Amino acid sequence: MLNRLLYMLQGNEELGITEWIQLGVGLLTFLFIAWMLIEAIRRGDYLWAVFIFISSGLSAILYFFMVYRASGGGALTGFELPGAADRRQIKTLQANIHHLDKPHHHLQLADIYFSQGKLDQAEASYRAAYERDPQDEDIRAHLGNCLVRRDKAKEALPLLEAVCAQNPKHDYGYTLMTLAETQAAVGQIEQALATWQQVLGLYSYSRARVQYAQLLIQKKDDAKARQILQEVINDEPYVAKFQRKREAVWLKRAKELLRSIPG
């Protein structure tokens, strides 16, 4: 098909209306196939990429409807019930796991389950990803985060420590914050204080400031805790609108802790 298009574009044929239509359809078809091939490679769907490259049009159409559109790649779905996109993506990932069994597919599936609050299924998928690639920092960090939420802090601790030692800024500091919470959960208060200080040296998250202040109260350092909590409250009017819902819980906690400090 490509050779035919090039032959026509080079002016080796006199083009009538029918030929111009064929040329236009051919060019659109070629661009569509190229688009789907690039998308398959970009998403790591290498088996699909091979099929698209070999069989061109048919595989490209199948990939568009079965993978690209189903995973929310295009704005063609219109209105849909809440969770429909997740369900489609879960089915796609399960199919990819069945055929390819790649660690990143297990990780993506686990992240969806985690976001849905299905922590038992999330843990199982994170563990499957970890078995296939125990060195990947995203897999280790997300598995550790899930284990903490399932009250398995001792098991999570070495995973989180290893990731943060290698990359303290992993997930924009959220992994480091999870490590501090985990250290506090297993009774390593001094280590948790040091980790919170490390977080606050990099970021100014309310989540970090409030929990650091909470540990300071436990250590009877009320003056420093009061100062930090008051800063969180004073920053409230300047919090970006998209962050306010997430910050609300920590603002409330800051006010509660501030009231609990004597004097």
Q: What is the predicted pLDDT for the residue at 45?
A: 75
Q: What is the predicted pLDDT for the residue at 17?
A: 66
Residue 55 counted as domain residue: no
Q: What is the predicted pLDDT for the residue at 81?
A: 41
Check the CA dihedral 241-243-246-251 and report its sign.
negative
Residue 238 counted as domain residue: yes
Query: Among 10-14, 123-127, 173-177, whose mean pLDDT is lowest?
Result: 10-14
Residue 249 counted as domain residue: yes
Report field, pTM of the whole predicted structure over 0.85: no
Q: Which residue has the tokens 């906690």?
A: 253
Would you place residue 168 in the very low, low, confident or very high pLDDT band (cuts 50, 70, 90)?
Answer: very high
For the chain, the maximum distance between any two Cα atoms, rounded to a whole number of angstroms, is 93
Query: How far apart (Å, rounded) are the C-alpha atoms in residues 212 and 202?
Result: 14
Residue 236 counted as domain residue: yes
CB 102 within 8 A of CB 132: yes
pLDDT at position 163 over 80: yes
- Residue 42 CA to its chain's centroid (Å): 16
pLDDT digits (tens, 9 = 90+) for 73-89: 544 433 344 455 678 88
Q: What is the mean pLDDT of the chain?
A: 85
pLDDT at position 22 over 90: no
Would you place residue 71 in the very low, low, confident or very high pLDDT band (cuts 50, 70, 90)?
Answer: low
Residue 93 counted as domain residue: no
Domain that residue 214 falls in: 204-263
Residue 119 counted as domain residue: no
Q: What is the predicted pLDDT for the residue at 77?
A: 39
Q: What is the predicted pLDDT for the residue at 84?
A: 54
Over pLDDT 70: what percentage of the chain?
A: 83
For residues 107 and 24, the model is more confident at 107
Q: How many residues does the chain have?
A: 263
Give the H/E segment covering residue 30. helix 17-42
Q: What is the predicted pLDDT for the residue at 74?
A: 47
Q: Which residue has the tokens 């070495």?
A: 158
* Structural domains counted in the chain: 1
Check the CA dihedral 73-241-118-84 and report its sign.
negative
